[in-house]
Amino acid sequence: MRVFWDERQRRHAPVQELHNGGFVPFAEHIGRVDSMLAALGATHSVPDRGEAPLLRVHPGPYLDFLKSAFIDWKAAGRPGDAAGYVWPVIGRRALELDRIDARLGQYSMDASTPIAEGTWESAYWSAQTALAGLEALLAGDRAAFALCRPPGHHAGADYMGGYCYLNNAAVAAEAAWAAGLGRVAILDIDYHHGNGTQDIFGARGDVFFASVHADPRTDYPFFWGHGDEGGAGEGEGATLNLPLPRGTGIRDYEAALDKALEAIAAFGAGLLVCSFGADTFAGDPICAFALETADYAPVARRIASLGLPSLVVMEGGYAVDALGENVASFLRGF
Ligand code: Q9C
Ligand code: ZN
């Protein structure tokens, strides 16, 4: 399976994040990529397809915000990386204010997603990497791996969150739709629920979203991903959430995964986008499932047995020393 990656995805390097009431080193750091590149070997280059495919998912004002936030932050005389401290609660007026602090709140959902100098450039190339993987499928590859970083599944159409700025999986799914590949299924197997992807496609009947993740009653992102969220309007029935308790190991995990795969098979998609996070690993420092390195190969084999052209998009995974081997195990299984 070809691996797609662009060096400009390294430019994003926030220093710290708010975690459990204090500041800690930013967990989604470039060491993750070094671990994956060491285990995966050669990568393929990523062409520039411009902003048009990003704009199929994200509104222009949100992209403008991502581009200018760090500059505006510095212009306001602030040290460090741009981070919000006030969030508009549901039902408040949707104002388009100029103040950088207001914009950081308007366009984000949490305090774990700072904007640093190279954030826009890395997020842009991360989304381009997803598009490059999709193009490999269009050219006839059965599967492709987009080594996206920063990750994407917590980013909604107009908000960042959970280390995510642009929703790489959604950008690829929309591009697949535009390319005439028909109905798309997105299977999200990051430890955390993919709230951004669900928000983007939840009202759509032509894109199926299935997610196996930690129960949001105990885990981030808390306010999405509960078992009763099944889509809205034309999208009713095209969202499937399968939350699992902390401590879940491979047996219960595979049972939930099989339910997701059955639903995807019944939906009748022409293409699969798999949001893959290796933060389900037993040794992950910020997560609490119990998958082992060797488990990722059979998990991937089950997914591959759908027989769909598959784009694997990288999401989370923070046990840096094991990350490369976990991803390699998954891709070998495919
Ligand atoms: N105290 C992804 O895996 N921070 N994002 C949680 C817990 C946010 C993870 C803080 C975790 C987001 C792509
Ligand atoms: Zn995650």
Pick the residue whose CA is nearest to atom 3 on ligand 1.
316
Q: What is the pLDDT of residue 77?
A: 98
Whether pTM > 0.95 for this model: the answer is: yes
Catalytic residues: 154
The token pair at 28 is 């989604």
Q: Using CA positions, which residue lies closest to atom 9 of ligand 1?
A: 162
Q: Taking 90 as the threshold, does the pLDDT of residue 236 lie above it?
A: yes
256 Cβ contact partners less than 8 Å away, ≥ 6 residues apart: 212, 242, 244
Identity of the residue numbered 238: A
- Ligand that lies nearest to the alpha carbon of residue 280, given by its number in the listed order: 2
Neighbours of 14 (CB within 10 A): 24
Residue 330 burial (CB count, 10 A): 24
Cβ of 163 less than 6 Å from ligand 1: yes
Question: How is residue 209 written in tokens?
Answer: 């979203």
Instruction: Strand 207-214: give its sheet, edge to edge.
Output: 2-4, 143-146, 310-314, 271-276, 184-188, 207-214, 239-244
* pLDDT digits 0-9 by tens, 285-309: 999 999 999 999 999 999 999 999 9
Model pLDDT, residue 208 = 98
Does residue 133 have its Cβ closer than 6 Å to ligand 1? no
**pLDDT at site 188:** 99
**Ligand 1 contact, 220 CB (< 6 A):** yes
How far, in Å, from the CA of 96 to the mean position of ligand 2?
30
279 lines ligand 1 (CB under 6 A): yes
What is the C-alpha separation between 264 and 56, in angstroms, rounded? 24
Q: Is the pLDDT of residue 92 over 90?
A: no
Mean pLDDT of 99-107: 96
The reported pLDDT for the residue numbered 88 is 87
Question: What does the alpha-carbon distance between residue 14 and residue 179 come to, in Å, rounded to a whole number?
Answer: 35
**Residue with tokens 């917590």, as numbered in its chain:** 154
SS3 209: strand
Burial 132-169 (b: 16+ CB within 10 A, else e): bbbbbbeeebebbbbbbbbbbbbbbebbbbbbbbbbbb
Q: Which atom of ligand 1 is nearest to the CA of 163?
A: 5
Residue nearest to atom 12 of ligand 1 (CA): 162
For residue 211, which ligand has an atom nearest its CA? 2
**What is the structure's pLDDT at 164?**
98
